[in-house]
Amino acid sequence: MNYRKVVWLVRKDLREALGNKFVVLPMLVLPLVLCVAIPALLVYLGLELGAIASSGAQSLERLLPLYDIPGRLVDPVERMLYVFLNYTMMPFFIIIPIMLSGVIAANSVAGEKERKSLETLLYTPLTNREFVLGKLLSSFVPSMTVSLVSFLAYFAVTNGAWYALRGSFVLEAVSWIPALLVLSPAASLMALGATLLVGIKAKTFLEAQQSSALVVLPCIVFVAAQLGGLVVISPLAILAAGVAVLALDYALIMRVAPRFDRERLISTI
């Protein structure tokens, strides 16, 4: 395995991806809306304008014992916001890398087919393993980078706004670690593996990209469950889920990698 070649392939894919508006737009808009605009607005409206009616918050109060809320928060609106910002928002940081890695992976395999450049790449001495690793990394690295940067922005904006209005912080970084560092990369790899698997046969970027949407579905269930208070997923449970998804990723990638042979790829161009 020539790792320098893998790095060149990743750099080339990134350079190409950043020139494609269908890739760049979701990379910018998705995190900005989900991780900065919505939480900032909620904190401001909830704490400053009282727009979130206390009655609404009180009606949700019956769900709140399920969550581990610091005793210093007594106001129903503050308690509800704490739950929303610490629990409900968490799945978004799993959805973002899933969606982004799906988009970028679709661009880097099916997109290359569509643009007819894959054939030229297959004529180089790049080995199948270098090809697969390069394509995995060129989607995984940017999607996780955007996800982590989004979290830092979310953390700064939300805690900053809360601090400005209440003189304390609302987000606790430690409880986010299993989601950010284990479940989120694991889910991202899952979307990536699925998109690459479909990308072997898909002829177009859009065809391949649609497959990653399927991986988002369980996350939407996760969001809905969190919102409805059906389940309260503790950091430990998230860690366990992350490890389980990683095991599935391993199985998926072991299945995808051997399928990346030149013949299979070129026969679908």
Partner 1 sequence: MTAIRTAGLGKVYEGGTLALAGLGLEVPAGTVYGLLGPNGAGKSTVTRILNGTLSPSSGRAEVLGSRPESEETRRRTSTVTETARMYEALTLLENLRFYARMHDVPEAGLGERIDALLRRLELEPKRDEPLGNLSTGMKKRAQLARALLHDPELLFLDEPTSGLDPASAREVVALIRELVRERGVTVLLCTHDLALADTVCDAYGFIDRGALRASGTRAELQEASGIPDRLRVATTSGELSLPVPPEGDCNALLGELMASGRRVVELRVERPSLERLYFHFIRKDD
- Minimum CB separation of residue 132 from partner 1 in Å reads 15
- Minimum CB separation of residue 264 from partner 1 in Å reads 10
Residues lying near partner 1 in the complex (CB under 8 A): 2, 4-5, 8-9, 12, 15-16, 19-20, 115-117, 119-127, 262-263, 266-267, 269
When the beta carbons of 12 and 166 are compared against partner 1, the nearer one is 12
Tokens linked to 71: 């005793």
- Number of alpha helices (DSSP H) and beta strands (DSSP E) in the chain: 14, 0
When the beta carbons of 7 and 230 are compared against partner 1, the nearer one is 7
When the beta carbons of 51 and 269 are compared against partner 1, the nearer one is 269
Distance CA 86, CA 176 (A): 8
Query: Token pair 């497959």 is at which residue?
Result: 211
When the beta carbons of 2 and 54 are compared against partner 1, the nearer one is 2
- Minimum CB separation of residue 4 from partner 1 in Å reads 7
- Minimum CB separation of residue 96 from partner 1 in Å reads 25
Distance CA 236, CA 249 (A): 20
When the beta carbons of 15 and 203 are compared against partner 1, the nearer one is 15
- Minimum CB separation of residue 124 from partner 1 in Å reads 4
Distance, C-alpha 157 to centroid of its chain: 19
Distance CA 265, CA 197 (A): 11
Distance CA 254, CA 248 (A): 10
